[in-house]
Amino acid sequence: MFSKAVKLTVVMGLLAAGCSNPHYPHQASYELRGRAAPAPIANTARYEHYDDNPVKQVSQQPLATFSLDVDTGSYANVRRFLNDGIYPPEDAVRVEEMMNYFPAEAKPISDKSHNSQPFVVDYELAPAPWNRERTLLRVNIQAKDIKTAELPPANLVFLVDVSGSMDEPAKLPLLQSSLKLLVDELRDQDRVAIVTYSGEERVALPSTSGSDKSTIRHAIEGLNASGATSGEAGIRLAYQQAEKGFIKNGVNRILLATDGDFNVGISDTKQLEALIKQKRDTGITLSTLGVGSDNFNEAMMVKVADVGNGNYSYLDSLSEAKKVLNDEMHQTLITVAKDVKAQIEFNPQRVIEYRQIGYEKRQLRDEDFNNDAVDAGDIGAGKRVTVLFELTLAGQKPSVNPLRYGKQNPAQGKSDELAFINLRWKAPQGGDSQLMSEPVTAARLSTAFDSASQEMRFQSAVAAWGQKLRGSSYLAATSWEQIAQWASAARGEDTNGYRAEFIQLVKLSGKLEK
């Protein structure tokens, strides 16, 4: 819960979610609706296009270098499409955000396991369920959690779009209900303020102690939607409020919530990015919360959050708001490692080809790995990050014939090593980066997919679903029912019902596929 996660100074200018019913319980108990898609309507939602990662030959490109990502907005947005009876557009699907949506079923790793490091790295190998001629490498990165008593105070600014388009049950009213969930979790040392913008910007609630819950609730209930959208002055006012409430050695973050294009009034997007970078370097970060469908500019929401060293989330229901704003808020706000990069070197003696599943928008140049000036993703307290590769091992049939005149690869290093994992990160306060390494050996390879761990099997099902939604040729022979079966067999305890819901979404995807 939020009180267990952070001390807050919240300037609420946050989000609104787009779902047909803001109280729709996206839990295991809901039935597969499979309703007919509504009549086509004009939709100006914008998603940044990207191509899937290609298969790469290890002899030519032995290094895979990328920034880690902990966003989850794509999963909730795709769920909203499916629940509205619409098959999602390919560019709305980001497989890494699907995999990282689900909390780990395993028990949290204790601080002792980390030995002064901000996270631990583990891996597993198993046959790919959709192609037995391929092997999956799953890299699991588990950040250390922080005890409630050790959580720093937080100064949050919620910047809320209250333009006329927010006057729908699934938008501003959902946001108001979501914010009220936070109020009971606030502590005396937490502070809250609300900044709104539409035709004009205003401070709806000056910085207020978390002990004054009645005043905060009254301010939330008083928000009304009207007017046009113009956010330039609003975002500047939000930064002013964040600066006024700045907490040294605390959390200082703006949460921007909007149902559409954030019309900041700054003509050049790069000017907006420059402003956010400037404030980021002073210790004020920025996250985004998206809602709605028509005119939803997800590309902007993702980019702004990346530049602001924050996170992008999408709210499609009150249940999702609780997950994002209560249950996992400390993972979003409390950074344990910043600018986290991964570089995996594959052994050409043992691995012929590899294909990274997801993280297309997080790729880096190989030389960026050791360059501390290159920005990368941050990892929050207790967060689990999953990275998945499809490998062609020596002895398996490659997709590309070996070169007749190509350079022959001599035995290199340890013959039992398939790959070598390198992670580089900085402390939350900055400074020089640190390095962690872990060899990947064939001894961890499961002989059959069914004998792999529960987490490996479930995450493989999620990855298969995401790829199939994107129309991947690698999943062409795999049915939706097969994916649902893989997930069902690896459901586990599923305390929150997220995995049971996922299984229903897989089946719904099959009913809506054209």
Alpha-carbon distance of 223 to 245, in angstroms, equals 22
Q: Is 354 helix (H, G, I), strand (E, B) or coil?
A: strand
Q: Is 40 helix (H, G, I), strand (E, B) or coil?
A: coil
Q: What is the DSSP string of 279-309?
A: HHHTT-EEEEEE--STT-BHHHHHHHHHHTT
Look-up of token digits 């997800």: 298
Among candidates 187, 411, 173, which has minimal Cα distance to 292?
A: 173
Alpha-carbon distance of 42 to 59, in angstroms, equals 48
- The whole model's pTM is what? 0.89
Residues contacting residue 362 through CB under 8 Å, at least 6 positions apart? 66, 67, 68, 69, 96, 377
Alpha-carbon distance of 296 to 313, in angstroms, equals 13
> DSSP label at 71?
-
In 3-state terms the chain splits into helix, strand, coil percentages (rounded to 5) of: 30, 25, 45
Alpha-carbon distance of 7 to 4, in angstroms, equals 8
Mean pLDDT, consecutive 10-residue stretches, the chain (514 aa), reads: 43 38 36 42 74 96 96 96 96 98 66 71 98 97 87 89 87 87 80 87 90 91 80 88 92 88 61 90 93 81 92 94 91 93 97 98 98 95 96 93 65 76 94 96 96 97 99 98 99 95 98 90
pLDDT at 268: 62
CATH of domain 9-21+148-330: 3.40.50.410
Question: Could you tell me the two tokens for 130?
Answer: 């959709």
Alpha-carbon distance of 425 to 435, in angstroms, equals 7
Residues contacting residue 271 through CB under 8 Å, at least 6 positions apart? none
Among candidates 201, 255, 305, which has minimal Cα distance to 16?
A: 255
| Torsion sign across C-alpha atoms 104, 377, 82, 315 | positive
pLDDT at 271: 81
